[in-house]
Structure 1
Amino acid sequence: MSEPQPGRRRLSRRSAVLVVLGGGALLLASTALPWATAPARSAMATSTVSVTGSTGAALVPSAALVVLAAGLAMALAGRVARVVAALAVALGGGLAGVGVIELLGDPEPAVRAAVGQDTGMTELAGAAEVTAWPVVALVLAVLLLLVGVVLPFRMGAWDRVGQRYERDQASAPAAGSTRQRISDWDALSRGEDPSDPEDR
């Protein structure tokens, strides 16, 4: 991937990681909520059965975990690995979108399977209906897909983790150097003991 052009706004590592982790966490959390409901008839009575996203669209929570793992990798990795992680975010968003669209297109098989588990029967007393949560999940999936595609062009030259610390260590004056001796004289003039770590 080419470096971002000077006129383009670069995204900080912190912002990128927060966006990816936040989107992945919200997507995963949405799968714990009811995505579809339907009335089911058992031998005793008629009741309403609900299906969560993790049950009705098992691909979505798996894709959300991929996004979260990619976000963590992005926080720690070098440039090449960051680009790979960004593409993994796009892949996770795309897979999640596919899973949501499949359920939105035909929620009845997922609800029928839930009816079989809850009542031991597969007969529905009415049509299956989807809630607003799969739509929310679809929006999140599309956003994560777009973020994953755009990120490689907006990352800029992030420092490798630990690189800033290495620079700070390299810039510290070496013991016995001219710069260190001047620093010691300055400490003495202030009435401090340069050999005492607490005065440094």
Structure 2
Amino acid sequence: MPTIVALSGSLRQASYNTALLRAAQPLAPPELKLELHTLHGIPLYDADVEAQGTPAAVTALREAIRAADGLLICTPEYNHSIPGVLKNGLDWISRPPAEGRKTFAGKPTALIGATPGGFGTQLSQQAMLGVLRAFGVDFWFGGQLLVSHADQLFAADGALQDEKLKSQLAGFLQGFSRFIAQRRKE
């Protein structure tokens, strides 16, 4: 069964992006497993810290991404760009470990995002493309999911209430699943 690391770009306990990934789990095609991951425990990147040893949270997330068949990043939009915590986490993970294996090269990758604002996460997703290009991912351009007014779409407990968004999310996941299946055959 193909596995996708579903990475939330937000640390907030009541994050709409983490909630969107939780909602995605039961909507994923039955032949696909979504593993939810966050950036909790990853410190600010510092080469001096790295010289003393890669933090365990970084190593764990790096290994999960390496082992996965795909990567789904769910990013908020802060000031028209990528949240610092997400960029920092990706920078840590992209650092080559001692054996020199690249984490992201050729990894099927997709982006989604949610924000309470009215324009979705278009600018943060666009900014992420340059970062992902530098990583050498195999980006899926076949779908786009930009969730705006997220504060109106989720219940207080984080449950996704909007049926139209559930349908869009399920369709997005089906498309990404087909992309991964195609890449596995090649």
TM-score band, normalised by shorter chain: under 0.3
Structure exhibiting the larger radius of gyration computed from Cα positions: 1
TM norm structure 1:
0.23
TM-score between both structures, scaled by the size of structure 2: 0.24
The structure richer in strand per residue is 2
- The answer to which structure has the higher helix fraction is 1
